[in-house]
């Protein structure tokens, strides 16, 4: 602790509208240099208790505001974040290792849009009504916020995913206790600095920083937090389900994926190849929706592979703040080692590594020698049973395999425990519909990737999650419905 320079940034929890120091801290690293970037509170039960208390106190006033009043505050917050977009993007890139270009064009604009989107959608919900004339009755439903929402988010899209939870939760009239990943907390802390000016009353948004085991679990186990919205790994979700079971909590779980791309021989490769490169390697492959199994129909397999590898080799890896760089640093040393270990396992099993890790050399700028970098890696001839084809790697690694028939590829694409996102490439519209219907996947993109309409449900099947988020889905998750019958 003594070795840190005085200038080191130290984050504080945000509870009841105030920044509050914590009794202990942990280091958070800049993945592109390996240096400590800031210190993050190592919160536990005590801090979570204080945050839940503040959120409970704020609930009666916030929940009784009209949707329009809440909408105006959300819009103001969106404007303030947008005003500071560049500072947020710089901080996100430095904290997560992602390129400044990605942070500027994807992460922060989407965080802004999350607030704008729910500020608007909250104004347009209607409830149901039915008449039972023979009984002289009218039934209708009413919806009310649930209370204190616990929000837990991962490190890959820090502010983007945290605001995707905070925005609908508070738009619906809940108050929240949020816990970002201990590895990427800085933009959440920066957002807290804007809440007062946006008009968010004290205690409506509380942010407690710290590890999953301490702060996250304290939130999950807190009896006064009736719902948890979690995005992260399937393993952590299992633990959250166990820990919240005694309280019968309402859970929304957005988890991992092992997403297939299926390329039929009538696909337009001029569109498919650049998009599949992005779907495999964008954000260092650290997006739950990234493609990691590419099935290519045998007739075009060799051509696809040749062109795909040639293009993958052009992706520039290096200093994330260089706007010409395509691949930044992975989140941590441990994660880099884990991702690399998959490539080694594939080689040991007889697969061919066509480019990237262990094949090409990686030249890094002087200041980034200790960063956690890895080249985009393409592996071919991997068996479907291999861990590289079954487990989520969550790095810049993708496997390419050949298939013959539609029937066969559907079965192979579905033969993993996950079911988050799939991509289908074909110019045959009938085939596209048939295949999309049969894929076990919460999202299917055809001839595109990552095109989202926030109105529609987002989420996974099987081990990729429980529940959906989106305009209507988030509204339903963050409110309690009641059926009222009036007899006249
Ligand atoms: P993780 O599960 O390790 O951590 C996610 C969050 O949960 C962090 O804030 C962490 O501190 C917290 N946490 C950890 N243990 C906890 C516990 N016992 N109780 C409560 N909270 C706990 O996941 P990660 O490594 O941060 O993120 C990567 C994973 O997230 C990948 O599997 C990825 O696919 C998934 N992900 C899914 C989506 C989606 O929308 N489906 C989006 C992004 C990332």
pLDDT tens digits, 30-86: 999 999 999 999 999 999 999 999 999 999 999 999 999 999 999 999 999 999 999
Q: What span, in angstroms and rounded, lies between the C-alpha atoms of 94 and 328?
A: 10
Q: What span, in angstroms and rounded, lies between the C-alpha atoms of 293 and 441?
A: 14
Quote the pLDDT of residue 4. Answer: 52
- Both 395 and 377 in one domain: the answer is yes
- Both 239 and 269 in one domain: the answer is no
DSSP annotation string for 103-154:
IIIIIHHHHHHHHHHHHHHTTS----EEEEGGGTEEEEEEEEE-SEEEEE--
CB atoms within 10 A of CB 436: 16
- Both 168 and 25 in one domain: the answer is yes
Q: What span, in angstroms and rounded, lies between the C-alpha atoms of 116 and 350?
A: 50
Say if residue 372's pLDDT is above 70. Answer: yes
217 lines ligand 1 (CB under 6 A): yes
Q: What span, in angstroms and rounded, lies between the C-alpha atoms of 296 and 413?
A: 12
In the chain, the N- to C-terminal Cα span, in Å, equals: 71
Are 54 and 15 in contact by the 8 Å Cβ rule? The answer is: yes
> Among 2-16, 83-97, 242-256, 459-473, which is the least confidently predicted range?
2-16
Residue-wise pLDDT for 236-282, tens only, equals: 999 999 999 999 999 999 999 999 999 999 999 999 999 999 999 99
What lies within 8 Å, CB to CB, of 446 at 6+ separation is 423, 424, 425, 426, 432, 436
User: In the chain, how many domains are there?
Assistant: 2
Q: Where are the beta strands (DSSP E) in 223-281?
A: 227-231, 250-254, 259-263
- Both 361 and 309 in one domain: the answer is yes
pTM of the model: 0.97
254 lines ligand 1 (CB under 6 A): yes
- Both 241 and 383 in one domain: the answer is no
Quote the pLDDT of residue 2. Answer: 45
Read off φ and ψ for residue 296, nearest 5 degrees.
-120, 130
For the residues 194-212, what does the mean pLDDT come to?
98
Domain of residue 184, CATH code: 3.40.605.10
- Is 254 noted as a catalytic residue in this protein? yes
**Confidence grade of residue 1 (pLDDT, cut at 50, 70, 90):** very low
Quote the pLDDT of residue 147. Answer: 98
- Both 196 and 230 in one domain: the answer is yes
Say if residue 415's pLDDT is above 80. Answer: yes
For 437, the domain range is: 259-446
- Both 197 and 220 in one domain: the answer is yes
Using the atom order of ligand 1, give the atom closest to the CA of residue 179: 9
- What mean pLDDT value characterizes the chain? 97
Minimum CA distance residue for ligand 1 atom 11: 212
Quote the pLDDT of residue 7. Answer: 79
Residue-wise pLDDT for 159-192, tens only, equals: 999 999 999 999 999 999 999 999 999 999 999 9
Is residue 453 included in any domain, yes or no? no
- Both 226 and 295 in one domain: the answer is no
Structure-model confidence comparison of residues 1 and 361, the more confident one: 361
Quote the pLDDT of residue 6. Answer: 60
Using the atom order of ligand 1, give the atom closest to the CA of residue 288: 34
Quote the pLDDT of residue 5. Answer: 52
């Amino acid at each position: 602790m003594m070795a840190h320079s005085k200038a080191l940034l130290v984050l504080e929890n945000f509870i009841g509208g105030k920044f509050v120091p914590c009794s202990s801290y942990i280091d958070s690293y800049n993945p592109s240099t390996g240096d400590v970037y800031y210190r993050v509170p190592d919160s536990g039960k005590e801090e979570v208790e204080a945050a839940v208390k503040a959120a409970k106190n704020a609930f009666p006033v916030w929940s009784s505001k009209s949707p329009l009043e809440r909408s105006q505050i959300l819009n103001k917050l969106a404007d303030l974040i947008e005003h500071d977009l560049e500072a947020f993007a710089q901080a996100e890139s430095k904290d997560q290792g992602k390129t400044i270009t990605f942070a500027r064009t994807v992460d922060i604009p989407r965080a802004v849009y999350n607030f704008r989107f729910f500020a608007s959608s909250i104004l347009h919900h209607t409830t149901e009504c039915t008449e039972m004339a023979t009984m002289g009755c009218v039934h209708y439903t009413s919806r009310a916020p649930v209370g204190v929402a616990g929000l837990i988010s991962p490190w890959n899209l820090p502010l983007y995913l945290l605001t995707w939870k905070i925005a609908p939760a508070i738009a619906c009239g809940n108050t929240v206790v949020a816990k970002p990943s201990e590895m990427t907390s800085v933009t959440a802390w920066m957002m807290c600095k804007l809440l007062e000016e946006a008009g968010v009353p004290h205690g409506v948004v509380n942010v407690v920083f710290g590890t999953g085991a301490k702060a996250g679990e304290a939130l999950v186990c807190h009896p006064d937090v009736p719902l948890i919205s979690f995005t992260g790994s399937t393993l952590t979700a299992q633990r959250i389900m166990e820990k919240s079971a005694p309280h019968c909590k309402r859970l929304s779980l957005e988890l991992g994926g092992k997403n297939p791309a299926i390329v039929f021989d009538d696909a337009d490769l001029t569109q498919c190849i650049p998009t599949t490169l992005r779907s495999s390697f964008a954000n260092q492959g650290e997006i739950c929706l990234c493609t990691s199994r590419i099935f290519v129909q045998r007739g075009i397999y060799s051509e696809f592979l040749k062109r795909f590898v040639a293009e993958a080799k052009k992706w520039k890896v290096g200093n994330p703040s260089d706007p010409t760089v395509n691949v930044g640093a992975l989140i941590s040393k441990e994660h880099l080692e884990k991702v690399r270990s998959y490539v080694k396992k594939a080689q040991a099993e007889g697969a061919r590594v066509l480019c990237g890790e262990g094949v090409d050399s990686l030249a890094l700028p002087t200041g980034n020698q200790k960063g956690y970098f890895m080249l985009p890696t393409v592996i071919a001839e991997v068996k479907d049973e291999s861990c590289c084809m079954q487990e989520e790697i969550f790095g810049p690694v993708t496997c390419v395999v050949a298939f013959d028939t539609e029937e066969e590829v559907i079965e192979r694409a579905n033969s993993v425990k996950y079911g988050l996102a799939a991509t289908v490439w074909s110019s045959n519209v009938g085939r596209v519909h048939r295949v999309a219907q049969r894929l076990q996947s919460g999202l299917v993109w055809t001839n595109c990737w990552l095109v989202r309409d926030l109105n529609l449900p987002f989420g996974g099947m099987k081990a990729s999650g429980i529940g959906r988020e989106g305009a209507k889905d988030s509204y339903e998750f963050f409110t309690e419905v009641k059926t009222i019958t009036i007899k006249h």
